[in-house]
Amino acid sequence: MYITPRPGGLGRNHVTESVNKRLDRRPDTVPDPPEAPLFTSVDDVSARLAETGYLASPAVATTVFLAGRLGKPLLVEGPAGVGKTELAKAVAQVAGARLVRLQCYEGVDESRALYEWNHAKQLLRISAGRDESWDETRTDIFSEEFLLPRPLLTAIRGDEPTVLLIDETDKADVEMEGLLLEVLSDFQITVPELGTVTATRRPFVVLTSNAGRELSEALRRRCLFLHIGFPEEELERRIVRLKVPGLGAALTESVVRVVGALRAMDLRKAPSVAETVDWAHTLLALGADTLDETVVRDSLGVILKHQDDIQKAAAKLDLDAL
Ligand SMILES: Nc1ncnc2c1ncn2[C@@H]1O[C@H](COP(=O)(O)OP(=O)(O)O)[C@@H](O)[C@H]1O
Ligand SMILES: [Mg+2]
């Protein structure tokens, strides 16, 4: 991190100077650290993610590789439960990076995303220093000690490898996108009272979206785009085998086939990978040997979460085909 004191700031430049001195950094004398590339090849991505329990399709592995190489944020879009959040966690794990997560929701704002001042502590400091001049107090209360960094600032300030996960971006308001655009184009954040914080080591950024609303073209342009849909049968079988190794091969196959058939129906909420894995766990717990009609009907609530979906599925599923 390098902090550029704000020109004409509130006379508090010594704060940023001291921070930079402590960090022994100057922007023009610090060469970019010779960072080892995160992944050496697409196969390397697949192999290392698999070690953490994440099975990437070729499209996922390729895009993750490129995002690492090009240093571009990765925008991952797709239905709930297909492994978007998990992908960011897995990348952090294989990279030995800390994961900084900004969970988006309606109303998430700068004070939740960037930073805020610790007002309570500032007030205590003001009342403790009654004999000081206002200038002294003011200099002090707008220093690092009183700053509460939130995920975006935390990710940019760190010198250690970081994966920044901006999760469920579509839930945030449009104004938030403007803020993200700023941060993701320059990897710097200005705290008016302190100066501009510039990342010396760019985090690997993953934005996820359930496509609840269209993200702006400007934001998309800044990112590499990856759509994760429901997996192919073969990949989903491998995921189930990995997560629920105790389930027999025949039953694993049936589970994946039934889930596939359910996805082909016009349901309010099609089951996702998360539900497939839950269902496999359930069948193992029930000690089921085969997927017969009774077992399926009794456990449909694990994969379908709406009563009309359950009724529709129970009526339509071709149980002879199980
Ligand atoms: N490719 C995958 N490899 C391993 N597990 C997966 C994969 N895709 C999904 N999962 C499983 O699905 C669950 C839900 O994934 P998650 O990342 O929370 O979904 P999303 O963020 O897309 O809603 C994870 O906990 C994981 O067990
Ligand atoms: Mg998620």
- Ligand 1 site residues, Cβ closer than 6 angstroms: 53-55, 80-86, 208, 239, 243, 273-274, 277
pLDDT of residue 26: 42
Distance (angstroms) between ligand 1 centre and the Cα of 120 equals 40
Residue whose CA is at the smallest distance from ligand 1 atom 1: 55
pLDDT digits (tens, 9 = 90+) for 100-139: 999 999 999 999 999 999 999 999 999 888 788 888 888 8
Q: Which residues are placed with Cβ below 5 angstroms of ligand 2, an ion? A: 85
Which residue of 86, 171, 206 sits with most ligand 1 atoms within 8 Å of its CB, as the best mutation to test the pocket? 86
pLDDT of residue 133: 87
Distance (angstroms) between ligand 1 centre and the Cα of 216 equals 25
Which residues in the chain show pLDDT less than 70?
1-35, 318-322
pLDDT of residue 2: 60
Would you tell me the crossing angle of helices 233-243 and 273-286 to the nearest 10 degrees? 50
What residue ranges do the domains of the chain occupy? 2-114+150-227, 233-321
CATH fold for domain 2-114+150-227: Rossmann fold (3.40.50)
pLDDT of residue 14: 37
pLDDT of residue 3: 64
pLDDT digits (tens, 9 = 90+) for 237-271: 999 999 999 999 999 999 999 999 999 999 999 99
Which ligand 1 atom is at minimum distance from the Cα of 80?
Answer: 23
Question: Residue 71 and residue 204: Cα distance in Å, rounded?
Answer: 7
DSSP state of 281: H
Q: Which residues pair with 225 in a beta bridge?
A: 75
Which ligand 1 atom is at minimum distance from the Cα of 53?
Answer: 4
Which residue of 49, 82, 233 sits with most ligand 1 atoms within 8 Å of its CB, as the best mutation to test the pocket? 82
Q: What is the pTM of this model?
A: 0.87
For the CA of 276, the nearest ligand:
1
For the CA of 236, the nearest ligand:
1
Distance (angstroms) between ligand 1 centre and the Cα of 29 equals 43
Which ligand 1 atom is at minimum distance from the Cα of 86?
Answer: 17
CB-hemisphere CA count at 13 Å for 15?
24
Which residue of 45, 74, 273, 303 sits with most ligand 1 atoms within 8 Å of its CB, as the best mutation to test the pocket? 273
